[in-house]
Chain A
Amino acid sequence: MRRQQPTIAAENGRTAGAALIPATAPLAVRGLTVSYGEKPAVFSVDASFPAESMSAIIGPNGAGKSTLLKAALGVIPRLSGEVYVFGEPIEKARARIAYVPQRASVDWDFPTTVMDVVQMGLYRKVGLLGRLSGRLAGVARDCLDRVGMADFAHRQIGQLSGGQQQRVFLARALAQDAELYLLDEPFAGVDAATERAIIDVLKLLKDEGKSVVAVHHDLSTVRSYFDHVFLINVRRMAEGPVDVAFTTENLQATYGGRLAATHLDELSVVGGLA
């Protein structure tokens, strides 16, 4: 007897794998495995994020949250699995995605100004030789304005605070004018004002019909910020609307002993603790 394969795609063959993808899902992954060396960081994960909503990927440290996002985008190689963006293979849909990497992933002493960074979001649109001045300079300025950083356009990026740097990264993603926004820990290490500015921008995007998927670490804000949660700890632990999936049982299953019961009590999770 053939041993059953863990991934749906492998199980049902090529055609069936594609058939399972809802064409409306902004981001869907099937049987995604990523491994550093021979230890999978993400194992055979299926996920499907809903359109026109805000989704959080949550899980303990080292659970593969960022890895899932990066592998879906092809920033790090996948061992197996398929990624669909609005029902298409991701390679065909790059122009519809904007990515906000972790702030710590770049060298902020790089010789570039705030404006230069935001304009990077326009590179695909203008190609090698297209002019970034004129109308597109206005687009970049608008994006800076939306994150409250218009006054800083000509600063070298190293002179910004952590929160300001995060806003610049968000402005760069806005410049791409994408339909799906993928953010890796956008609220990590930022001040309260920045956190609010970012969440306001993201909620506006949602209202405009865009989809947002963010790796998120702060369980206390999941309820107020997001509509949909995806719980991961190497494997998919739970997924669904916040009201359904953000439960004590699911959190305990995902975090294990790392989440104290008293802490769980403080999060207005569904059901709460008895």
Chain B
Amino acid sequence: MTPFIDALLLQAGYNAALVAIGAGLLGFAAGASGTFMFLRKRALVSDAVAHATLPGVGLAFIIMVALGGDGRNLAGLLLGSAVSAWLGVLIIEWVVRRTRLAEDAAIGAVLGVFFGIGIVLLTVIQTMSAGRQAGLESFLLGSTAGMLFQDAVVIAIGGSLAVFVTWLLRRPMTLVAFDSDYAAAMGYDVRRVDLLIMGLVLAITVTGLKLVGLVLIVAMLIIPPVAARFWTERASRVIWISGAIGGASAYIGAALSASAAGLPTGPIIVLTAAAIFVISMLFAPVRGVLAAVIRHRRFQARVHRRQGLLALAAAHPIREGYTLRLLAREGLVRPDGEPTESGRAQAAKIARDERRWDIAREVHQDAGLTGRYDGLTPIEEVFTADEIGEFDRRLGPPTPVGAV
């Protein structure tokens, strides 16, 4: 456990600390910048973008070698990856706009074709005499552990830029993601906003390509916003929660992988993110599964309690065991099903409310108010005390329940 805590506290050596910080920054940037691709329901475009970087890497290497340079120049390789990924984005956009193909087909085609070309190029490069190609495979799965200081600087700059643009343009991107027709009617250029959303994903992909590789960067773009969605009902907050989840999983994942030999950094980061996703899905208070189950159980209890009291008011026997237990626990009925004193009082109140609703439907013209009757909503939430007083005047004096 101690090596993990050392790594978390950046005490596990210079290299481990650098990797943890760099990965954390990248995770935050990827989580925040991937948000709108998810909200636009195009998360899989990230996958195509990432795979479309590969031919660019290969071509850039070949061109740089042909020009007599060092094929492994990082700036050149990243530029190549950006160009080919952008080409992939434009092709997807074009296919969707100009043909009757659905977006998933366009994504699948671009992903497969570009990745295929990339693999062919990498194979060709392996037969080249340049012979210094050893590094290129790392673009597939990344080489987080081998991070240099300059890599961390690239991430810090590229990531900050992407996060800044996400923050700056959050309004048009939210509008297009939620209601693109309305955005177009207001005069926003929906196509350009969509290209911007894809451009952000592309920027993060290129920035993180060398570290986590094109396969795993996709996970860092998609998992955090999906997990963040469980915690909030507001798009503006999804951005930052997603960034926090991405940053935390990358930082913790890097520390985990530094704490034991043989743990690959990129995959551990993704697994950490997946763990946070599962926790969010199960336990997030806003939309988590557990919260939903609890809400449902509480609702069910309200329904049974109300039905039970109505049965008491009508002097009908209660046969459902759950209803009886519920009322008994609240002291409203005795174990034999007979109402207690407070049970009678509450049943009388509820029965009277029902009759008040009947009157309300007769005298009130606003169907919007009487339409709010659902058996559970207290009448006091819908009508004013004066209005209820008026219903009571028409109803006459209350009659006790159970009084024969």
B171 touches A123 (CB 8 A): yes
A73 touches B184 (CB 8 A): yes
A112 touches B174 (CB 8 A): yes
State A111–B185 Cα separation when bound (angstroms): 22
A82-101: which residues lie under 8 A (CB-CB) from chain B? 91, 94-95, 97, 99, 101
Contact partners of A193 in chain B: CB under 8 A? 366-369, 371
Given A101-B181, A106-B178 in contact, is the A124-B168 Cβ separation under 8 Å?
A: no
Given A110-B178, A123-B175, A191-B371 in contact, is the A99-B234 Cβ separation under 8 Å?
A: no
A164-212: which residues lie under 8 A (CB-CB) from chain B? 172, 176, 182, 191-194, 197
Closest to A184 in B: B181
B177: CB under 8 A from chain A?
yes
State A95–B236 Cα separation when bound (angstroms): 25
Contact partners of A191 in chain B: CB under 8 A? 367-368, 371
B185 touches A128 (CB 8 A): no
Of A111, A148, A176, which is within 8 A of B229 by CB?
Answer: A111
A110 touches B177 (CB 8 A): yes
State A90–B10 Cα separation when bound (angstroms): 59
State A117–B169 Cα separation when bound (angstroms): 17
State A55–B368 Cα separation when bound (angstroms): 26
Given A110-B235, A128-B169, A191-B367 in contact, is the A123-B186 Cβ separation under 8 Å?
A: yes
A124 touches B233 (CB 8 A): no
A253: CB under 8 A from chain B?
no
Contact partners of B174 in chain A: CB under 8 A? 112, 120
Q: How many A residues face the partner with a CB closer than 8 A?
A: 34
Contact partners of A129 in chain B: CB under 8 A? 168
B233 touches A73 (CB 8 A): no
Fill in one digit per residue for B194-230: 1 if any A CB lies within 8 Å of its CB, else 0: 0000000000000000000000000000000000010
A75: CB under 8 A from chain B?
yes
Interchain nearest-CB distance for A76 vs B (Å):
9
B367 touches A112 (CB 8 A): no
Report which residue of A91, A176, A193, A197 has the largest number of chain B beta carbons within 10 angstroms of its beta carbon.
A193
A192 touches B179 (CB 8 A): no
State A159–B366 Cα separation when bound (angstroms): 22
Fill in one digit per residue for A125-158: 1 if any B CB lies within 8 Å of its CB, else 0: 0001100000000000000000010000000100
B238: CB under 8 A from chain A?
yes
B94: CB under 8 A from chain A?
no
Fill in one digit per residue for B150-176: 1 if any A CB lies within 8 Å of its CB, else 0: 000000000000000000110110110
Contact partners of A223 in chain B: CB under 8 A? none
A interface vs B, CB < 8 Å?
70, 73-75, 91, 94-95, 97, 99, 101, 105-107, 110-113, 116-117, 120, 123-124, 128-129, 148, 156, 172, 176, 182, 191-194, 197
B interface vs A, CB < 8 Å?
39, 41, 168-169, 171-172, 174-175, 177-179, 181-182, 184-187, 229, 232-238, 366-369, 371
* A-B contacts, 14 listed (Cβ < 8 Å): A74-B185, A105-B181, A106-B178, A111-B39, A120-B175, A120-B182, A123-B175, A124-B186, A156-B233, A172-B182, A176-B186, A191-B367, A193-B366, A193-B369
Q: In the complex, given contacts A112-B174, A128-B172, what are 13 additional A-B residue pairs having Cβ atoms less than 8 angstroms apart?
A: A75-B185, A101-B179, A106-B179, A107-B178, A110-B178, A112-B235, A123-B171, A123-B172, A124-B187, A129-B168, A191-B367, A191-B368, A193-B367
